[in-house]
Amino acid sequence: MGTYLELALDILLPRACAHCREDLGRADGPLCRTCVAALPPPPEPACVRCAGRRRGPSPFCADCAGRRFDCRLIRAAAAHRGPAASLVHAFKFRGSRPAAKAAGRLMAAAMTLHPELSGFDALAAVPVHPARERERGYNQAELLAREVAAATGLPLIAPLVRARAAAPSWRLRRVERRAELAGAYAPGPGGAGLAAGKRVLLIDDVAASGTTLEECAAALRAAGAADAAGYAFARAGDFT
């Protein structure tokens, strides 16, 4: 009975791929199989911190070498263009929870390509300001993190809070974004107990300059975390 009902719904209310707008038919969605296969990989070889081009055996690019970061590495499942950008747009601006869950599953699958993401004790979603979460209806980073947690078995903890709101990142230049986000994240109630001594992998939707993940990592370190790194669904920017 369920099969006939699903078929009828597909005919009466066809679902479209979030990127190419082709009919999804019986595909799980929100991307069709062709667009999933076409997800652009993150840039490689890339600096483990900023994803810029590195030279020689060093894991860092020339700009990051010798600098101290609280978020010691940042990785992503895809580059922020094509189907990946469309998927982000669906869950970030069109309220699609299924799109966020699909992106989280893609992140979990891509973790095997990044052995440096192993060895962490817990996951933590980048928090959003309560006003933004009420507006959107959910924290998209948390939806991503739940899927990664389910696939990896790592516990999902919430040691941080967004202490104050900030302007949308796409409106800001890199220097402005650093100033805007300085001190925007802090350990939440009980955060020290959740993070102390743990190696924590931060989960976010899109990483560009790395400022958000760096600020979150600094707050984790303040809460006593032993290590902090970032893993985003998509990496944005020009890395050539």
What is the pLDDT confidence band of residue 5, given thresholds at 50, 70 and 90?
Answer: very low
Residues 6+ apart with CB under 8 A from 162: 127, 128, 129, 130, 132, 184, 185
What residues form DSSP beta bridges with 160? 187
The mean pLDDT value for 231-239 works out to 81
Percent residues over pLDDT 90 in the chain: 52
**Residue 239 clears pLDDT 50, i.e. is over it:** no
Measured from the Cβ of residue 20, the count of other Cβ atoms closer than 10 Å reads 14
Q: Is the peptide bond before 130 cis (omega within 30 degrees of 0)?
A: no
| Mean pLDDT across 59-72 | 82
Q: What phi and psi, each to the nearest 5 degrees, are found at residue 102?
A: -65, -40
Q: CA 120, 128, 146 angle in degrees (round to 5)?
A: 45
pLDDT bucket at 173, cuts 50 / 70 / 90: low
Provide the residue ranges of all domains of the chain, joining segments of one domain with +: 1-38, 40-235
CA distance 174 to 197: 31
Identify the pLDDT of residue 105. Answer: 95
Phi-psi region of 227 (alpha: psi -120 to 50; beta: other; left: phi over 0): beta
| Residue-wise pLDDT tens digits, 141-151 | 999 999 999 99
CA nearest 83: which of 14, 15, 147, 20?
20
Mean pLDDT (the chain) is 84
Mean pLDDT of 195-210: 94
Helices (H), the chain: 2-12, 33-37, 82-93, 97-110, 130-136, 140-152, 174-181, 191-195, 211-222
Read off the pTM.
0.85
Cα–Cα distance measured from residue 28 to residue 45, given in angstroms and rounded to the nearest whole number: 32
Q: What percent of the chain has pLDDT over 70?
A: 82
* Position with higher pLDDT, 189 vs 6: 189
Do 203 and 126 contact (CB within 8 A), yes or no?
yes
User: Would you call the peptide bond into 45 cis, given omega within 30 degrees of 0 as the criterion?
Assistant: yes
Q: In sequence order, what are the beta bridge partners of 207?
A: 235
Report pLDDT for 192: 86
Q: Which CATH class is domain 40-235?
A: alpha beta
pLDDT at 238 over 60: no
For the record, the structure tokens of 69 come out as: 């970061």
Q: In this model, does residue 6 exceed pLDDT 50?
A: no
Q: Tens digit of pLDDT for each residue in 25-63?
A: 666 679 998 999 999 988 765 777 766 677 677 777 777
Q: Which of 28-32, 82-86, 110-114 has the lowest mean pLDDT?
A: 28-32
Contact 105, 183 (CB under 8 A): no
Q: How confident is the model at residue 78 (pLDDT cuts 50, 70, 90)?
A: very high
Q: Which two tokens stand for residue 84?
A: 């990946």
- Residue 196 tokens read as 């102390």
Q: Which of 129 and 124 is assigned the larger pLDDT?
A: 124
